Structure 1
Amino acid sequence: MNSNNQNLYIVEKISKLIPILLSFLMPVFFLSITSEFFEFNKFALLLIGTLLLSVMWVIKLISGQKIELTKSSVDLSLIVLTIVMALSTIFSLNKSVSIYGSQGRWFPGLFPMLGFLFYYYLAAPVLKETKTLKMAFYALIAGSSVSTIVAILSYFNVYIGSADFMSIPNFTLVGSTTSALILAAVAMVGALAALAYEQNIPSKMLLVTSILLNFFYVALTGSMVGWAILAVGAVCLFVMIDFRGYSTNRSTSMILVGAMLAIVLLNVVPNTKNALKNPNMAAEITLPFNDSWIVATSTIRDYPLLATGPSTFYLNYSRYRPVSVNNTPVWNVRFDKPHDELLNSMATLGIVGLAAVLYFASRVAKFAWSAKNIQDESGLVRVISVSLLATLPVFLFTYATVINTFVLFQLLIMAIAAHAVTKEAAKGAELIEINFASIAAVTTIGEAGAIKREYFHYVAAAPMLLIAAYAGFLFYKSYAAEFYIRKSVIAAQSNNGSKIYEYQSKAINLNPRRDTYHVAYAQTNLALANALASKENLTDEDKTTIQTLIAQSIRSSRVATEVLNPLNVVNWQTRALIYRSILGVADNAAEWAIASYNTAIQLDPSNPALRLDIGGIYFAQQDYLSAANYFRQATSLKADYANAHYNFAQALIKLNDPANAKRELEITKTLVAQGSPDYQKVEQDLASLSQKPTVAGAQNTKPTVEQLTGQTTNGQTLPQEPLTKPVETQNNGTQNLNLQDLPQGSQVGATQPAQQ
């Protein structure tokens, strides 16, 4: 074997190894060196694998080798979906978020989708051999089973590491119990299907072990999505798998059935069920279907065709969330994902996007279902197709993430490869060979040919190489920025303000498109200014530094709100908090804070907390009538909001309306825990109020039952935030900033607040 052939042999081996390694590593891989440990690093791993496959493809092309691609009935639907996502991104409310994904939620974005698309076309041809295909499938089962083992251990408070984030009952290698459950259920279905065709005894034992481990976790959690996957998998197994394989392994099958029945009994019998149950296991918070439906339909009412762009559900939720959410325990949670991926597609890609998603799903289902007409000795076509069909219901019960989308694409890639290599006429995919040497011969006929034959391969390889290099460069900058944000978090835990400032500055320089970085930087500058102001005997240099930090805080908040993401209510709320924090520093800070809160209220009209905050500013400015009006609005939006009722009472006291103030205090008293410090505070206020004479003409309206008890208490006191008087909310965390600290006449902005 000459050196050239040996190099090509190595390239071929590496190409085959990459999908196998990804199958195993994606379910288990994570790193704690970025701000988000799991999804971001899993996508980084996938992108590295895709870039390596691109390099291998370029090497083969330059060497004059034939390039293989797969063609299947799914291709058109996948390309249509990608094009629709690109069009939706063009008209997105925030193009940067739609391209790269939102902070902490990297999928679905256009860039990750393109990464999956390139991986789809690069990985399928290298899995053309049955041995390689089987190894990739078994690697996915093995990786998913390892993920399940860690999830089970964490459930029973057995931790694999000493880090704080590993010491929680719901720690998993994929970042959520739902994702771990999906992997477990899909792996169990795949292992059950493979067991019917497996002849190797050690492999059978490993498959049985995987089935029992994953089934135990599904039964232990009792989640609907897990049982849905198993139900669809059971139907597909019954229709598509040859059960004679189980009958030839009767002893193994009987042991498996007996063990599964034992697992069911353990999770059904009350005594064992209670013993297995972990009371500290926190349930994942998700937006209910009804609320998700309201947000999605409201969005397509205003943006019918392409909606608001990929990864923009968090913008839609703030604007369209129903007031009824305020009656639930998650009223103060800003959801960035709906109940499931269909509703997410409707809300972010519009009617056209939803149609594209359904078209893609139907083509995948039809393609996988066609495997029942194919007979092959290894059974891989049917085994992989059963697993693929079992994966589809996932997106009816939860939203798309990097890991569950990878499982879908990896199984689809393996199914296409299995179809392509089979000799059956009913196959739905085929391998296509592209010989660039022949193309070069045609395009270089004659001496005046535009492209010389010896350079044609390099010219043909250049676009792929440039795309790979540019994608790698973009992601490197994003990854490095996330790395520095994580370092700033670690610095914050050790109260190292200068390092926080330094690392956040580096993150912004690397990735200035992230509004969340600018918001964090603004908060850091304000905190540093407050820390410096706490010094005794401030020098002129200290005062100048404080002013510079405050100015930088304001500039960063304005970049986030006016340039990068003006529709994100969190950015405007943070900007308002910054202005509110310097009421004693700048003359017109209240004016700017009120303008920022008004914009936030426009973007999140059903949020009572924003009304409470803006009312506090009016209260501090002694505009008690405006303050009372906003506090009243907060109580109307959320009848069981103790702090809103308490602040409303304080404003009514200032307006010399003790009768109605007493009513609000009585309501507050019913909403806080009896005997708590807040309860005692309300009693003291009531005692003080009873000593004041009732003003003639004051209303003495009786409260309703709903106002007295709260609409969702059901006889129990709901958790409430600590009660604070309006003036107490103005200087939280910035009590050291005073007018005397800065040069006189400081202004928070050179222009008047923007009219929204």
Structure 2
Amino acid sequence: MLVVYALTAVITGAWLIKIVLAKKVIFRRSFWDWPLVLFFLSQVISYLFSIDRQTSFWGYYSRFNGGLLSVISYLLLYWAFVSNINSRITYHVLRITLASAALVAAYGIAEHFGIDAQYWVQDVKNRVFSTLGQPNWLAAWLAALLPLGLAFAVNLELTTYNFKLKKVISYLFLVISFLCLWYTKSRSGLMAAAISVGVLVALQLAPRFKRFWPVTIVILAGVGLIGGKILWDRNRQDIRYVLGFTDKVEITPQMVNAGGSKSADIRKVVWRGAIDIWRHHPLFGTGPETFAYSYYWYRPREHNDLSEWDFLYNKAHNEYLNYAATTGTLGLVAYLILIGSFLVWSVKKVISCQLSVISSALAAGFTSIAVTNFFGFSVVPVSLLFFLFPAFAVTISDTKDEIRETKENPKIFASQRLISAGILLFTFYFLLLILKYWYADAQFSKAEKLGKAGQYNLAYGAASSTVSLRPFEPSYHDELGLDLAGLAALAQNDKTATLSAQLAKMAVEQSTQALKISPFNLNFWKNRIKIFYRLGEVDGQYYQQALATLLQAEQLAPTDPKIKYNLGLLYAQFGQTETAITTLEETVKLKPNYIDVRYALSLLYRQIGRKDEARQQLEEILRIDPQNQKIKDMLEKK
């Protein structure tokens, strides 16, 4: 995303200088202007009502995509392209896009045969992701570009220069892209690709069969109704659960070594949580990119039955529900208008026989994104296509080709030079800010790795530099607090009590600053608990602060079993055995297959003489994990 920000700064700066030198506003109106303005306003309003404006502006840290700044960037890129690029250059841009996609797809195929298998924890030979980081993201991107590749292949004229070579290259792209798409094993991507090709064919055939349109519409409506009825009958209980009409749902708690949960089970639980957020914040949502925070407020208990129960979900795994949860009904409607306006515009062009095969492919690719977004969410490459496909279509479909090269003005006034220099300075300033952001992120990553390795002295240096570079970024204060707490514990071990106390105070201050900026970030609360645990070695009073922090975290995430588990352990540490047992019993209700909790319960039960209940917990552990030799030995001894 930082690269997109840099390109946006350069492109916007060049556009403004062009306007200054031409002494006129260079802006071409398009059908998408008002839908974009409406969408932007919906994001701004949601940002103003956000529970975390820092995240809503910059985007969730490490992703950066989806915040208000990224929306501004995409809109500027759309308008800059439409206002400055003609159809001839657009075709070149599309060819370059397909060429880059071919390279990415080729690497994905090589990945399937193990070219980089040794570098990844994931089974990349089974499900490739090439340079995009995740199979479904790669699939969504390729599925959107496939119709474009097909359109270029069938659109070549016999009179085209190097016709045969270009024909071979076009079909080679299709083969490589589809093969890579197949190796992603992404069902949503493959389905979207099939639908997009169908849309492309339909858009091209539609003008020839106008008299059959009424019949076709009736047939499609009938198929849709029948399909909806079948879907409802087969998934009635799941749909009712997702919509919040019932709490009954079939999700089998994961046993040890039983494999991962089905993606359908994961989605219906996360979607239920997203709809609950929307239900409680119906107008403006909780703010762009705040799903990672608000989801914990309404996180379904059934989430604990999934194999990914301890994963952080910063997206709803459905772009539409994500907009509904984070930007409310206003944001969702604006997003749907954005999609619908382009598709309606394309259909109107079909009716008037003004839609070329390339423009049809762009509409088909856009449809593909709409499909994959239902089962996932857009990452930066897909978001770029979402906002630029309509721009490509506008420039290609303009038969008048209104964009002309601005003639050089023989006389450039001093005022124009001065304004242009000012724009250049601002552009370089923005690029410098982006460079600082990149460097701070690199230092943050370094600090995280060093901190996890226990090298707190080195981690402190890296984390301190991040705070100096970007003092308003809460993640940097959070990491610095963890590293300072580690240093405080080391100083205590070295018998330097004064230094240890100073470092402890600084650690708490940094954690407090992180939560002051992002008060609903559960990870910051969990890290604050870690800080107090570490500082407990320095001064026992910090354990009391750990307890208070755990209670606050429990309010933010009432169904998170790990928080309750740690709360129970801390009660036990304080000698409050009965309270600890009650807390751990509540934890078991949240997550019945939580082995650590049941083991802790068995120890506490035995401690107060409830031996039968202690044995029951051990037997339940063995049922969850039949190969647990430690538990087998304990049961044999007792």
Supply the RMSD in Å over aligned alpha carbons. 3.2
Separation (CA, whole Å) in 2 of partners of 1:196 and 1:283: 42
Q: Does 1:555 align with 2:509?
A: yes
Contact residue 137 and residue 378 of structure 2 kept, 8 A: no
What SS is found at the alignment partner of 2:22?
coil
Instruction: Determine the structure 2 residue equivalent to 1:49.
Output: 7
Alignment of 1:22-421 (within 5 A): 43-64=1-22, 66-130=24-88, 132-159=89-116, 169=125, 170-199=128-157, 200-241=163-204, 288-373=266-351, 379-420=357-398
Instruction: Determine the structure 1 residue equivalent to 2:459.
Output: 500
Q: Does 1:510 align with 2:460?
A: no
Residues 605-656 of structure 1 deviation map (CA, whole Å, 9 limit, x = unaligned): 0111111101111111111011111111111111111111111122222223
TM-score if structure 2 supplies the norm length? 0.83
Separation (CA, whole Å) in 1 of partners of 2:264 and 2:9: 34
Contact residue 165 and residue 171 of structure 1 kept, 8 A: no
From the superposition, tell whether residues 53 and 286 of structure 1 become closer, same or farther in structure 2 (CA, over 3 Å): farther
Structure 1 residue corresponding to 2:519, chosen from 542, 549, 566: 566
Instruction: Determine the structure 2 residue equivalent to 1:714.
Output: none
Contact residue 36 and residue 338 of structure 2 kept, 8 A: yes
Which letter does structure 2 place at the counterpart of 1:208? Y
Higher helix share: 2
From the superposition, tell whether residues 379 and 331 of structure 1 become closer, same or farther in structure 2 (CA, over 3 Å): closer
Contact residue 51 and residue 468 of structure 1 kept, 8 A: yes
Deviation at 1:496, TM superposition (A): 4.7
Q: Does 1:476 align with 2:454?
A: no
Contact residue 569 and residue 600 of structure 1 kept, 8 A: yes
From the superposition, tell whether residues 585 and 229 of structure 1 become closer, same or farther in structure 2 (CA, over 3 Å): same
Separation (CA, whole Å) in 2 of partners of 1:328 and 1:76: 43
Instruction: Determine the structure 2 residue equivalent to 1:713.
Output: none
What SS is found at the alignment partner of 2:525?
helix
Alignment of 1:582-661 (within 5 A): 582-661=535-614
Contact residue 116 and residue 409 of structure 1 kept, 8 A: yes
Contact residue 323 and residue 637 of structure 1 kept, 8 A: yes
From the superposition, tell whether residues 164 and 455 of structure 1 become closer, same or farther in structure 2 (CA, over 3 Å): same
Separation (CA, whole Å) in 1 of partners of 2:53 and 2:47: 6
Which letter does structure 2 place at the counterpart of 1:529? A
What SS is found at the alignment partner of 2:512?
helix
Separation (CA, whole Å) in 1 of partners of 2:261 and 2:347: 35
Deviation at 1:375, TM superposition (A): 5.8
Instruction: Determine the structure 2 residue equivalent to 1:683.
Output: 635
What SS is found at the alignment partner of 2:50?
coil
From the superposition, tell whether residues 481 and 139 of structure 1 become closer, same or farther in structure 2 (CA, over 3 Å): same
What SS is found at the alignment partner of 2:620?
helix
From the superposition, tell whether residues 492 and 594 of structure 1 become closer, same or farther in structure 2 (CA, over 3 Å): closer
Contact residue 148 and residue 358 of structure 2 kept, 8 A: no
Alignment of 1:532-551 (within 5 A): 532-534=491-493, 538=494, 542-551=496-505
Instruction: Determine the structure 2 residue equivalent to 1:665.
Output: 618
What SS is found at the alignment partner of 2:29?
strand
Which structure has the larger Rg? 1
Contact residue 159 and residue 167 of structure 1 kept, 8 A: no
Greater length-normalized contact order (CA 8 Å, ≥ 6 residues apart): 2
From the superposition, tell whether residues 75 and 350 of structure 1 become closer, same or farther in structure 2 (CA, over 3 Å): same
Separation (CA, whole Å) in 2 of partners of 1:575 and 1:660: 34
Separation (CA, whole Å) in 1 of partners of 2:586 and 2:422: 58
Residues 17-71 of structure 1 deviation map (CA, whole Å, 9 limit, x = unaligned): xxxxxxxxxxxxxxxxxxxxxxxxxx22222222222232233233336553221
Deviation at 1:559, TM superposition (A): 1.8
Percent identity of paired positions between Structure 1 and Structure 2: 20
Contact residue 189 and residue 386 of structure 1 kept, 8 A: yes
What SS is found at the alignment partner of 2:28?
strand
Separation (CA, whole Å) in 2 of partners of 1:677 and 1:78: 61
TM-score if structure 1 supplies the norm length? 0.70
Mean Cα displacement is larger for which, 365-374 or 659-668? Answer: 365-374
Contact residue 489 and residue 535 of structure 2 kept, 8 A: no
Deviation at 1:494, TM superposition (A): 7.5
Which letter does structure 2 place at the counterpart of 1:679? I
Instruction: Determine the structure 1 residue equivalent to 2:223.
Output: none
Separation (CA, whole Å) in 2 of partners of 1:467 and 1:229: 42
Contact residue 140 and residue 368 of structure 2 kept, 8 A: no
Residues 658-680 of structure 1 deviation map (CA, whole Å, 9 limit, x = unaligned): 22222222222322342x34324
From the superposition, tell whether residues 464 and 235 of structure 1 become closer, same or farther in structure 2 (CA, over 3 Å): farther
Deviation at 1:363, TM superposition (A): 0.6
Contact residue 583 and residue 589 of structure 1 kept, 8 A: yes
From the superposition, tell whether residues 223 and 384 of structure 1 become closer, same or farther in structure 2 (CA, over 3 Å): same
Which letter does structure 1 place at the counterpart of 2:168? M
Deviation at 1:85, TM superposition (A): 0.4
Residues 558-611 of structure 1 deviation map (CA, whole Å, 9 limit, x = unaligned): 2222x1211122211221222233334324222211110011111110111111
Separation (CA, whole Å) in 1 of partners of 2:477 and 2:513: 7
Contact residue 318 and residue 376 of structure 2 kept, 8 A: yes
Deviation at 1:403, TM superposition (A): 1.3
What SS is found at the alignment partner of 1:51?
helix
From the superposition, tell whether residues 582 and 51 of structure 1 become closer, same or farther in structure 2 (CA, over 3 Å): closer
Deviation at 1:226, TM superposition (A): 1.7
Separation (CA, whole Å) in 2 of partners of 1:345 and 1:109: 11
Mean Cα displacement is larger for which, 110-119 or 171-180? Answer: 171-180
Which letter does structure 2 place at the counterpart of 1:625? E
Instruction: Determine the structure 2 residue equivalent to 1:16.
Output: none
Contact residue 447 and residue 479 of structure 2 kept, 8 A: no
Separation (CA, whole Å) in 2 of partners of 1:338 and 1:178: 15
Deviation at 1:532, TM superposition (A): 4.6
Contact residue 66 and residue 433 of structure 1 kept, 8 A: no
Deviation at 1:505, TM superposition (A): 0.7
Which letter does structure 2 place at the counterpart of 1:214? S
From the superposition, tell whether residues 666 and 388 of structure 1 become closer, same or farther in structure 2 (CA, over 3 Å): closer
Which letter does structure 1 place at the counterpart of 2:331? G
